[in-house]
Amino acid sequence: MERYAKTIISQFKQFSKCEIDKSEGRAENTLSAYFKDGKKKTFRGSTWNAIAFDMAGFMRQEYFKKKYIDPMFSRERWIIDDSLR
């Protein structure tokens, strides 16, 4: 697997906290992400870099940003973290 693909897949796992299932076929590779809310997202491509490119596009969507990225950087979280000192 290419370095780009490893980086994008690890970022996706860290942001969404999902389980990843990879399968490598002769004609096509697939990567399935199982989210905690019961949803599943499958990415398909001929190479792992093609799959990572699709994953990066999915992470740029407004839905993904609002659900997974914005809560990580919300103002309330930083207030709570500062009060623990």
Domain ranges of the chain: 3-83
pLDDT at position 37: 85
Q: What are phi and psi of 48, to 5 degrees?
A: -70, -30
Residue 5's pLDDT band, with cuts at 50, 70 and 90, is: very high
User: Each residue of 10-54: pLDDT tens digit?
Assistant: 998 988 888 999 999 888 999 999 988 888 999 999 999 999 999
pLDDT at position 45: 94
pLDDT at position 75: 62
pTM of the model: 0.75
Q: What are phi and psi of 60, to 5 degrees?
A: -80, -10
Which amino acid is residue 9, in one-letter code? I
In terms of Cα–Cα distance, which of 15, 17, 19 is closest to 65?
Answer: 15
Q: Architecture of domain 3-83 in CATH? A: 2-Layer Sandwich (3.30)
